[in-house]
DNA sequence: CGAATCTTTATGTATATACATAATGTTAGC
DNA sequence: GCTAACATTATGTATATACATAAAGATTCG
């Protein structure tokens, strides 16, 4: 076998040693060769096997642990984790970006934009503090000329005062917020509902048609920035989520 | 200021230096102090600031880059990434685990389980190779005595031959697969639809009631293991997804 | 036999060092 | 003024080393 000094040079397809070790271990797990619960070789064994330093395999395995493929237990070793299909990365696109990407023309219409005080009685507004100064926005999104989604949105003006001066007659509030509000945390809720008479009219569908409802609350440092409810036509839209070990 | 040697000891709440640096940078980003596009201090600056080695800050920043909070450019520096709210971690629970966790009793009923050959004409089966040997399973899930979801599932027997001998009259196929098939990759599709007459009967709802449809294709090494379609009562179920920087 | 103690050991964290690499900024030359 | 060559520099990868820590396993003692 080649000495460790030449190993780097003989690496296939010019991958780094780190990437090669990671891909190797990942393959063994995903192919089923190393089933859940299997104890993977100790760091010093891998180190000998790949002819490298412990720090190198340590970083690889720590990465796999962060990705959820492996669980580590001191003194005992590192084990292939139980698969947990139930966590997947969901793509929740900015509609204005997603529709053109599909090859359809995007359209937008502002229905109203009012400044007022939040009313905690309304369950929709309970996400924001009672009496908060909010912007109440209602709008529609179109794809290929047809209505795709209705949007109801509240923006907390104490957190995002600049929003009061924004012009939402041409720019959708979601797009504006993405460009004006830095990193946040968010929670989404996805459900199905039958179109009410008002929704049906706004979406050009029959009353009772199935719609996908996406609610999102976004906050920063415990202050709610925005709460949105988007109602999508069920026949025109669906969401895709993927799970793969690279995250 | 305290010398680097005493820094470790004075660490607040017994966090490691790594965690302290990470939390510090994360806070600056999430609080808006460092907006998207902002160049964070160079590694040698942070190294001086925290009185530690470059390898330490390097690992922290590499972790933040892996989490998507930071983008790194050689020679130029490290920059706060543009927020991309549209990726969030979706929890897609194993129903048998989720229902008891909600405090309701879980129920399960097998409707049928047949071995046959896949038919590529059926769009539902196009995910599996034509003519493949499959197990065709249909079942129902109950929560608190009420029907919650209908499930249609195909399992590829060439990939999971053991499934042919499994007893799905008491164990839901999803649960069985989770326990018998090691790590896989998966794609999910979420949509809303109106209950057909058959769905309505199976779910004890009115025909046309909105339902959440979750389709999942699971594979390993390019071979499809299973394809499922679960139809949930829209009034009883919804999905939750979260985005937060720790992943 | 059972509980408490000690030893062993694999992982966890941190450091100092070395060289590779890619992209920026500068300079030289036409 | 434009391009090509060069130097600079921040990140990228890898190593050898050191000590901390948690937990499994062996041992001791009541």
Query: DSSP alpha helices (H): ranges in chain A?
Result: 4-7, 17-30, 43-50, 54-67, 95-101, 173-180, 197-203
**Are residues B177 and B223 part of one domain?**
yes
Q: What are phi and psi of B103, to 5 degrees?
A: 95, 10
Q: What are phi and psi of B74, to 5 degrees?
A: -55, 140
**Are residues A231 and A124 part of one domain?**
yes
CB atoms within 10 A of CB B180: 12
Q: Judge: A211–B210 Cβ closer than 8 Å, yes or no.
A: yes
B19 occurs within a structural domain? yes
Which of A113-122, A224-233, B65-74 has the lowest average pLDDT? A113-122
Q: CA-CA distance, A28 to A49, in Å (whole number)?
A: 15
What is the 3-state secondary structure of A186-237? EEEEEEEEECCHHHHHHHCCCCCCEEEEEEEEEEECCEEEEEEEEEEECCCC
**Are residues A185 and A106 part of one domain?**
yes
Q: With a cut of 70, which residues of chain B have pLDDT below it?
A: 1-13, 123-127, 130, 246-247
**Are residues B178 and B136 part of one domain?**
yes
Q: What is the pLDDT of residue A13?
A: 57
Looking at the DSSP assignment, which residues form a beta bridge with residue B57? none
> Of A245, A223, A217, whose CA–CA distance to B85 is shortest?
A217
Q: What is the pLDDT of residue B89?
A: 84
Q: What is the pLDDT of residue A232?
A: 97
A247 occurs within a structural domain? no
> Tokens 């005493």 identify what position?
B6
Q: Is the pLDDT of residue A124 over 90?
A: no
Q: How far is A214 from chain B (nearest CA, A)?
A: 10
| Residue B59, domain CATH | 1.10.10.10
**Are residues B24 and B49 part of one domain?**
yes
Q: CA-CA distance, A122 to A130, in Å (whole number)?
A: 10
Q: How far is A243 from chain B (nearest CA, A)?
A: 5
**Are residues A17 and A59 part of one domain?**
yes
Arithmetic mean of pLDDT, A2-14: 42
**Model confidence over A196-217: pLDDT tens digits?**
999 999 999 999 999 999 999 9
Q: What is the pLDDT of residue A246?
A: 61
**Are residues B157 and B182 part of one domain?**
yes
**Percent above pLDDT 70 for chain A:** 91
**Are residues B118 and B41 part of one domain?**
no
Task: State which of B80, B108, B139 marks the end of a domain.
Answer: B80
Domain count of chain A?
A: 2
**Model confidence over B217-245: pLDDT tens digits?**
998 888 899 999 999 999 999 999 888 77
Q: Report, in ranges, which bases of strand C sit under 7 Å from a protein C-beta.
A: 8-17, 21-24
**Are residues B200 and B115 part of one domain?**
yes
**Are residues B191 and B72 part of one domain?**
no
**Are residues B107 and B36 part of one domain?**
no
Domain residues for the domain of B41 are 4-80
**Are residues B136 and B204 part of one domain?**
yes
Spanning CA of A215 to C1' of D17, the rounded length in angstroms is 53
| Residue B116, domain CATH | 3.40.1410.10
Task: State which of A22, A56, A80 marks the end of a domain.
Answer: A80
Q: Which residues numbered 118-177 in B keep a CB inside 8 Å of some CB on A?
A: none
B247 occurs within a structural domain? no
Arithmetic mean of pLDDT, A60-73: 94
Closest Cβ opposite residue A190 in set B93, B190, B245: B190
Q: What is the pLDDT of residue A121?
A: 74
């Amino acid at each position: 076998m080649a000495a460790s000094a030449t190993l780097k040079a003989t690496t296939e397809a010019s991958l780094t040693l780190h990437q090669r070790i990671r891909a190797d271990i990942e393959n063994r797990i995903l192919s089923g060769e190393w089933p859940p619960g299997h104890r993977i070789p100790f760091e010093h064994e891998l180190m000998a096997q790949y002819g490298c330093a412990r720090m190198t395999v340590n970083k690889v395995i720590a990465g796999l642990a962060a990705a959820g493929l492996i669980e580590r237990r001191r003194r005992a070793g590192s084990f292939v984790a139980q698969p947990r299909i139930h966590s997947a990365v969901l793509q929740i696109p900015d509609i204005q970006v997603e529709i053109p990407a599909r090859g359809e023309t995007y359209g937008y219409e502002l229905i109203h934009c009012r400044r007022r005080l939040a009313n905690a009685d309304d369950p929709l507004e309970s996400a924001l503090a009672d009496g908060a100064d909010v912007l109440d926005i209602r709008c529609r999104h179109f794809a290929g000329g047809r209505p795709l989604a209705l949007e109801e949105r509240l923006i907390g003006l104490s957190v995002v005062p600049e929003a009061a001066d924004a012009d939402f007659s041409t720019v959708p509030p979601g797009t504006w917020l993405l460009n004006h509000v830095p990193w946040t945390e968010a929670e989404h809720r996805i459900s199905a509902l039958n179109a009410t008479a008002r929704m049906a009219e706004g979406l050009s569908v029959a009353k009772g048609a199935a719609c996908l409802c996406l609610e999102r609350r976004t906050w920063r440092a415990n202050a709610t920035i925005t709460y949105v409810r988007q109602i999508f036509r069920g026949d025109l839209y669906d969401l895709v989520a993927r799970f793969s070990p690279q995250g």
